[in-house]
Amino acid sequence: MEEQVIDIAVIGGGPAGLAAAIAAAEAGVKRIIIFDRQTELGGILNQCIHNGFGLRYFKEELTGPEYAARFIAQLAEYPQIEVKLETMVVELTSDRQIITTSRRDGWKIYQANAVILAMGCRERPRGAINIPGTRPAGVYTAGTMQRLMNIEGFRPGNRAVILGSGDIGLIMARRLTLEGIEVAAVLELLPYSCGLNRNVVQCLEDFNIPLYLSHTVVEVCGEGRVTGVKAAPVGPDRCPIMERSFMIDCDTLVLSVGLIPENELSREAGVQMESSTGGPRIDSGCRTSVPGIFACGNVAHVHDLVDDVSEESRIAGKAAAAYVLGAQQGSEPNRVKVEPGRNIRSVTPQEIVAGEPTVLYIRAAFPERDVIVAAGRHRSKHRIVTPGETVRIMLHPEDVDFSAGVLPVAIEGGVESNA
């Protein structure tokens, strides 16, 4: 089969892919294609019809579709960006050959000089957390529920229990309530919410939705459709205390139990993965371990805010443009590897290249109050850190000692907290 040569292939037309493609076009790349599976650009933003997007990036509060529309409108200025919708990338090799399929073009092969991975993430399903019980209709992940309601316009339930207090779970608690679908309870395995604090307040507390911390679902009940779930508190070992289990009647169980970067293609291409994020290992230019393949947005690590995704993806777009246009410096620049220390679950990027302005996204392993976040020579005080909210640190050149080879990152001196 014939193959078509292009400069940059952007896989995914959500916030990451859009920002990366635009940044690459600004830098002078001639032939860019964005591939996306959906009928419209914008990715998951299209079903996020609530507001709260863009406060940092645009300094105003937008809904998901509005946020996406800002970027989509910019595409008009860049004829060098082609968009292929309803097109799925089914294969990616380490030498950047891509196979796509679409109703219009059938199966096609492209050879890209650079590839930007921007596939986003997906939700963990019921099986991944192994909830015992029957297998009735009415068990949905929060994102599927959101799609069924906000895109398809369906009413997927009448009375729901939400397991997991991640951001999508919290947002959906409010969304269900506003549509007259009763939310009987939100259950959270951990002693603290995994979502942003503002979402706990605005989505649960403002609507008097009960949040049961240190609780989980131990059984799904019902034969045809869900008729209820059995819930139980968990001990400090996170094992359910069955003697204290209780039934909650509901016809719907909504799961918001974590997001997983969607890296099937990255693995196929032989990109080295980082177990702490579930995404490819990337450096401060969003470069993966495979030359010419870049990764940004939720495919690299799950972000709290789309604003951060846009910012990071612009870096990926610029770095991919530099790679394609051959604008590399003569000698290899200095690099340091990030070395996670105390109370660190993950740090992205995992490597820092001298001369590249760097934002570090640091996720704590456990909640703590009154801490100091240390990264190289950088020190900052934080009133609170939790695994549900990343700490964003702007690193300055003087913060990094490139001769040291590593950049130690740690959260120090705190008081353990339950909030």
Partner 1 sequence: MFLTETEMDVLIIGAGVVGGALARELSRYQLQVMLVEKEVDVAFGTSKANSGIVHSGIHDHPGTLKAKLCVKGNRLYPQLAEELDVLYKQNGTLVVARNEDEWKLLSELVNQGLQNGLTGVQVLGRDELRRLEPNLNPELIGGLLVPSGGIVVPFDLVYGLVENAITNGVQLAVGTEVQQIQWESSQFIVHTSRGMVKARYIVNAAGLGAAKVAGMIGDESFTIYARKGEEYLLDRKLEGYIKHTIFPLPTPESKGILVIPTVEGNIMLGPTAHRVGSFDELSTSAAGWDEIFRFTKGLVPGLQASDVITSFSGLRAAGNTGDFIIGPSEKNFHFIHVGGIDSPGLTAAPAIAQYVAELLEDAGLQLEHKRSFNPLRPLIRVRDLSLEDRNRLVVKRPAYANIVCRCEMVSEGEIRDAILRGATTLDGVKLRTRSGMGRCQGGFCSPTVMRILMEELKLKPEEVTKNGPGSSLLFGNLRNRPSQS
Helix, coil or strand: residue 243:
helix
Interface residue list for partner 1 (CB under 8 A): 1, 37, 86, 88, 90, 99, 101-107, 109, 122-123, 125-128, 130, 132-138, 141, 143-144, 147-149, 151-158, 179-180, 218-219, 223-225, 267
Nearer to partner 1, 88 or 365 (CB): 88
- CA-CA distance, 254 to 141, in Å (whole number)? 5
Instruction: Reduce the DSSP state of residue 143 to 3 states and report it.
Output: helix
Report which DSSP code applies to 271.
P
Measured distance CA(168)–CA(62) in Å, rounded: 17
CB closer to partner 1, 81 vs 257: 257
Q: At closest approach, how far in Å is the CB of 186 from partner 1?
A: 20
Residue 330 CA to residue 327 CA, distance in Å, equals 9
Q: Is 26 exposed, middle or buried (0-12, 13-18, 19+ CB in 10 A)?
A: middle
Least gap, CB of 41 to partner 1 (angstroms)? 17
> Rounded to the nearest 5°, which phi and psi values hold at 353?
-105, 135
115 vs 226, which CB is nearer to partner 1? Answer: 226
Q: What is the closest distance, in whole angstroms, from the C-beta atom of residue 36 to partner 1 in the complex?
A: 12
Helix ranges (H only) for 49-115 are 64-75
CA distance 294 to 300: 9
Distances (CA, A) of 359 to 85, 257, 289, 303: 31, 27, 19, 13
Report the residue number, 225 or 238, with the smaller CB distance to partner 1. Answer: 225
Cβ closest to partner 1, residue 152 vs residue 398: 152
Please report how close the Cβ of residue 90 comes to partner 1 at its closest, in angstroms.
7
- In terms of CB distance, is 146 or 284 closer to partner 1? 146
The contacts found for 45-53 with CB under 8 angstroms, 24 or more apart, are 45/14, 45/15, 45/306, 46/151, 47/143, 47/146, 47/147, 47/150, 47/151, 48/146, 48/150, 48/171, 49/150, 50/171, 50/174, 50/175, 52/198, 53/305, 53/306, 53/307
- Closest approach of Cβ 219 to partner 1, in Å? 8
Tokens of 299: 């495919």
Report the nearest approach of partner 1 to the CB of residue 104 (Å). Answer: 7
Shorter beta-carbon distance to partner 1: residue 139 or 185: 139
Phi and psi at residue 290, to the nearest 5°: -95, 120
CB of residue 299 vs partner 1: minimum separation in angstroms? 14
Phi, psi of 27 (to 5 degrees): -80, 0
> With respect to partner 1, which residue has the nearer C-beta, 224 or 326?
224
CB atoms within 10 A of CB 335: 15
Closer to partner 1 by Cβ: residue 157 or 195: 157
As measured in angstroms, the least distance from the Cβ of 95 to partner 1 is 17
What's the closest the beta carbon of residue 27 comes to partner 1, in angstroms?
Answer: 31
